[in-house]
């Protein structure tokens, strides 16, 4: 399925590095660049045949970013900013992947990346104070530091649906889409799942396929992207003040998803709360944000994620939009989310999602009401006996988020303690970047940091910058070992929970909580206080000599 990297599969045979990085997505790529800049030797291991991480794998039709392209890009190189031109407000997956390839070429990254291998083990040795890392292709290497740049949404969730393997036609995973594309023309397609991936894919597949059946367990809230080509004059003006915009993104303005791309711009919340405002005033405000498009919508009223009354007003507005768009009242009703407050599952950003259900060749099947009994050779049967046949099946069933990739690896820290044991009741970190008992290990955008609630590129750059500054600090002070202190970690985990509990997020039953994976501990994983607050804390910790971490020479 994957295109070959053309790279001979050389092996590392007990080679030694300063740093081993797991993953060559946007985090691993930038980290490699920064480590080299410090004169450190680094090896990156990557499962894909090339760079790009999530954008390498998720090639499903309609895949594009929900953060604005001018904000979802590296800020570390002015030259790169100047020479790269995004074509649309929201970049498509192929364009983002071209960007990743361009970055890899410009900074000559690939020579230190070993592709097409999966890291299986990472063990810390107390005596030498080094990590030994092994891959499924037989590599073995050691390094003083190990950095997990494994991505938050990189391990697909295999849904527990009986008979999946019995389907005789092709089954496609949105997260492992064939590299040469899929032609659905003339075919009947079934898709399971209605999260962000499906909501992007459904309109595109519907336009191509003979028929599309959408199997929906939980309806999601989606807002229009209002995507459009970028006007070169606007881009020039934006780039003229790129540093200012980047600063806004770092402080989380416009949720960091893009601050000023399309006029009139929101910049920040328009009002603090809907309380005391007339219905007309609130409606006009939401209407304005709806027309601006994108995830900004959820930030129109500042307390949407804290105040159930505000949240209901915003959710009712979206439900009204769904009913006004979808012509068949029963379908509209089934598409209206009622089981969770808006925003507590990741808000989806779409192009013509609800409109697609007005097409004659699209049918919505509510599998909450009538669950799937089993898939068979030609389609599936619901528990009420209803049959649905199709020629191809698409699974858009999500990921084992945030901890999945880390726990897939046999990670062992001091005294041989495994990360799986340490996190048996849910992930525990200090600042989302260090784990007590796991010296010299950094987790980029790990659980306990804003990560998936933020523009990932912004959070990736922050964590990479923080990590390399920390390694530099150790070098300058002659430290060979760093470890998050248990007390700091406990305090941080308590704080992350406290922040989450003050919001409506825990009511969402989402992958943020691990609720999509049967048996996964229910812990709200990202830090919900915002990237501005988080940056201030992380910077203060660094300025105070990385307080909360213990060092040894
Ligand atoms: O996955 P999801 P996703 N039987 O977990 C359903 C990012 N992303 O890949 O809600 C039947 O959101 C499940 O139903 P339910 C973004 O952060 C970003 O779509 O569990 N259905 C749900 O409908 C996003 O949040 C972009 O009841 C089953 C769906 O599958 C995250 O990735 C684009 C099932 C899974 O939805 C994940 O999005 C794409 C079962 N057994 C993704 N198991 C952009 O930048 C699961 N489902 C725009």
pTM for the full predicted model = 0.96
Task: Kindly state the average pLDDT of the residues 241-250.
Answer: 89
Task: Kindly state the average pLDDT of the residues 170-180.
Answer: 97
Query: What DSSP character marks residue 510?
Result: S
Per-residue DSSP letters for 522-548? ----S-TT-HHHHHHHHHHHHHTTSTT
Looking at residue 252, its pLDDT comes to 78
Bridge-partner residues for 550, per DSSP?
483
Which H or E run contains 133? strand 130-135
Please give the structure tokens belonging to residue 121: 């083990």
* Whether the predicted pLDDT of 21 surpasses 50: yes
Looking at residue 208, its pLDDT comes to 98
**290-327 per-position pLDDT tens digit:** 998 998 899 899 999 999 999 999 999 999 999 999 99
Atom of ligand 1 nearest to the CA of 193: 30
* Closest Cα to atom 1 of ligand 1: 398
Q: What is the 3-state secondary structure (H, E, C) of 356-403?
A: HCCCCCEEEEECCCCCEEEEECCEEEECCCCEEECCEEEECCCECCCC
pLDDT mean across residues, the chain: 94
**95-123 per-position pLDDT tens digit:** 999 999 999 999 999 999 999 999 999 99
Looking at residue 2, its pLDDT comes to 38
Task: Kindly state the average pLDDT of the residues 69-81.
Answer: 96
* Closest Cα to atom 41 of ligand 1: 159
* Whether the predicted pLDDT of 1 surpasses 70: no
Residues 6 or more apart in contact with residue 106 via CB below 8 angstroms: 80
* Whether the predicted pLDDT of 3 surpasses 50: no
* Closest Cα to atom 40 of ligand 1: 159
What is the distance in A from the centroid of ligand 1 to the CA of 397?
5
What is the distance in A from the centroid of ligand 1 to the CA of 194?
6
Q: How far apart are CA 290 and CA 135, in angstroms?
A: 47
Largest CA distance in the chain: 70
What is the distance in A from the centroid of ligand 1 to the CA of 398?
4
Q: Which residues line ligand 1 (CB under 6 A)?
A: 65-66, 153, 159-161, 192-198, 200, 217-218, 346, 349, 367, 396-399, 452, 511, 516
Q: How far apart are CA 342 and CA 298, in angstroms?
A: 8
Q: How far apart are CA 2 and CA 5, in angstroms?
A: 9
Looking at residue 257, its pLDDT comes to 65
């Amino acid at each position: 399925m994957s295109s070959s990297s053309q790279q001979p599969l050389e092996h590392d045979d007990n080679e030694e590095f300063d740093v081993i990085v797991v993953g060559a997505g946007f985090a691993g790529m930038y980290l490699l660049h920064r480590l080299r800049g410090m004169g450190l030797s680094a090896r990156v291991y990557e499962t894909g045949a090339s760079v790009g991480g999530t954008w390498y794998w998720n090639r499903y039709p309609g895949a594009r970013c929900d953060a604005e392209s001018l904000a979802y890009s590296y800020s570390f190189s002015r030259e790169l900013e100047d020479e790269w031109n995004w074509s649309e407000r929201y970049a498509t997956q192929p364009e983002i992947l071209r960007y990743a390839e361009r970055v890899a070429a410009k900074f000559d990254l690939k020579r230190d990346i070993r592709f097409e291998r999966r890291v299986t083990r990472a063990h810390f040795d107390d005596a030498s104070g080094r990590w030994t890392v092994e891959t499924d292709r037989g590599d073995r290497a050691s390094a003083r530091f190990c950095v997990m740049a494994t991505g938050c949404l990189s391990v697909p969730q295999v849904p527990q649906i009986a008979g999946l393997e019995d389907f005789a036609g092709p089954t496609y995973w949105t997260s492992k889409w064939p590299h040469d594309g899929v032609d659905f023309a003339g075919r009947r397609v079934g898709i399971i799942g209605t999260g962000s991936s499906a909501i992007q894919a459904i309109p595109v597949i519907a336009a191509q396929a003979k028929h599309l059946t959408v199997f929906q367990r939980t309806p999601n809230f989606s807002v229009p992207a209002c995507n459009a080509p970028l006007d070169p004059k606007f881009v020039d003006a934006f780039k003229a003040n790129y540093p200012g915009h980047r600063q806004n993104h770092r402080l989380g303005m416009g949720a960091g998803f893009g601050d000023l791309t399309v006029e009139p711009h929101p910049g920040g919340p328009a009002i603090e709360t809907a309380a005391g405002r007339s219905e007309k005033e609130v409606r006009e405000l939401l209407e304005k944000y709806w027309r601006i498009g994108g995830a900004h919508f959820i930030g129109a009223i500042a307390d949407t994620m804290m105040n159930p009354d505000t949240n209901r007003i915003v959710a009712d507005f979206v439900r009204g939009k769904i009913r006004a768009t979808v012509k068949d009242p029963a379908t509209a009703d089934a598409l209206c989310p009622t089981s969770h407050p808006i925003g507590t599952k990741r808000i989806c950003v779409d192009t013509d999602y609800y409109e697609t259900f007005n097409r004659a060749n699209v049918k919505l099947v509510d599998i909450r009401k009538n669950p799937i009994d089993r898939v068979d050779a030609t389609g599936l049967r619901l528990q009420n006996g209803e049959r649905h046949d199709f020629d191809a099946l698409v699974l858009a069933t999500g990921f084992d988020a945030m901890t999945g990739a880390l726990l897939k690896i046999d990670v062992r820290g001091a005294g041989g303690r495994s990360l799986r044991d340490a996190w048996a009741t849910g992930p525990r970190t200090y600042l989302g970047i260090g784990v007590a008992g796991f010296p010299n290990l950094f987790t980029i955008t790990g659980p306990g940091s804003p990560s998936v609630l933020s523009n990932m590129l912004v959070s990736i750059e922050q964590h990479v910058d923080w990590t390399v500054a920390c390694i530099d600090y150790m070098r300058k002070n002659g430290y060979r070992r760093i470890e998050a202190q248990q007390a700091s970690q406990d305090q941080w985990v308590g704080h992350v929970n406290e922040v989450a509990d003050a919001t409506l997020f825990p009511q969402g039953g989402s992958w943020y909580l691990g609720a999509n994976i049967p048996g996964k501990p229910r812990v709200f994983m990202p830090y919900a206080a915002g990237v501005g607050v988080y940056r201030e804390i992380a910077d203060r910790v660094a300025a105070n000599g990385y307080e909360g971490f213990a060092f040894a020479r």
